[in-house]
Amino acid sequence: MVSGAGLKVLFLGTPQFAVPTLDAILASSHTVVGVVTQPDKPRGRGQKASDAPVKARASERGLPTLQPPTLKDPDVLEQMRALGADIGVVAAYGKILPQAVLDLPRLGMINVHASLLPRWRGAAPVHRSVIAGDGKTGVTIMRVVKALDAGAKLTTVERPIGPEDTSDEVERDLGALGAALLVQTLDRLALGPIEEVPQNEALVTYAHRLTKDDGVVDWAQAASSIHNQIRGLHPWPLAFSYIDGQRLILRRSTWSAEDAPAEPGTIVTAHGDELRIATGAGTLVVTELQAEGRRASRTRDFLAGRKLAPGLRFAAQP
């Protein structure tokens, strides 16, 4: 808690990752004067329009909420200006902010970014970190500038990535860590300026947006890399491969450094709890999988209803 008056905060965010930060600000000495979030989009199997997590929370708390299709509209800018925010807080809003928006609050805008910048600027930092096999990640509170995730760093917090952690597990933890760190940062800013450290441009990597094509398994890769792909793409878009023309989704796995005497993608064991597949280096052990249009199941249950024999080979195409 700060000893002086709290700050008036304009909050910009959309998905679940941003909700803990919004909740933390609401529970602090600072005041959320308004929320800006993405327009409603069709969600779920029925593709019905429904509230994204931040909008749902803002509605629960009766917060003034804007959902502009563009932030360049002069009327939208005026509505945001009228809220009288001291500072803007961005958490996975989903769009690059124009300079006119950045200039609205007297203290500018800061962002809760789910990586240890300058590593993994961009749209999918948690997933790309897990896919890359990083041993740690974290949250950076950074100054928002017009260039993508390029602003100076105010503070960071780290989180180790375990060898079996999936991206949704890591992202959940980072949401909580980032929320606490953001409020601490607001507390400090309420008392005056704090040090801002420029990013080292030589160390920048980019976390490009995920697509379904990211899920295609290349069995010539090492088992460890495929395992990282599987856990990094959980719960979306999920890793997959084809066998006998059918797409199988690979949801959970482990791996062994021991090479299998078979071509990459070939099933070497399919019995009980074991579905072992040869790769370019080592053996992948699939522990949970899913046939197209069916529920996910553990390997033992899946093999009880579907015979996958040693010698069958997975492929990238049907």
DSSP state letter for 46: T
Domains annotated for the chain, with CATH where assigned, are 8-207 (3.40.50.170), 212-305 (3.10.25.10)
Those residues whose C-beta lies under 8 Å from the C-beta of residue 15, and which sit 6 or more positions away, are: 52, 53, 54, 92, 94
- CA-to-CA distance for 120 and 134, rounded, in angstroms? 11
**pLDDT for the residue 4:** 53
**What SS3 string covers 5-30?**
CCCEEEEEECCHHHHHHHHHHHCCCC
**pLDDT for the residue 5:** 76
pTM score: 0.94
- Let me know: does 308 contact 270? Beta carbons within 8 Å: yes
- CA-to-CA distance for 182 and 144, rounded, in angstroms? 14
**pLDDT for the residue 51:** 84
Structure tokens at 247: 């797409």
Q: What is the chain's pLDDT, residue by residue, as a tens digit (318 residues)? A: 334 579 999 999 999 999 999 999 999 999 999 999 999 987 555 545 568 999 999 999 999 999 999 999 999 999 999 999 999 999 999 999 999 999 999 999 999 999 999 999 999 999 999 999 999 999 999 999 999 999 999 999 999 999 999 999 999 999 999 999 999 999 999 999 999 999 999 999 999 999 999 999 999 999 999 999 999 999 999 999 999 999 999 999 999 999 999 999 999 999 999 999 999 999 999 999 999 999 999 999 999 988 899 999 999 999
- CA-to-CA distance for 40 and 219, rounded, in angstroms? 39
- Let me know: does 34 contact 26? Beta carbons within 8 Å: no
User: What three-state secondary structure class fits 105?
Assistant: coil
**pLDDT for the residue 3:** 45
Q: What is the DSSP secondary-structure string of 266-307? A: BEEEEETTEEEEE-SBSEEEEEEEEETTS--EEHHHHHHHS-
**pLDDT for the residue 30:** 98
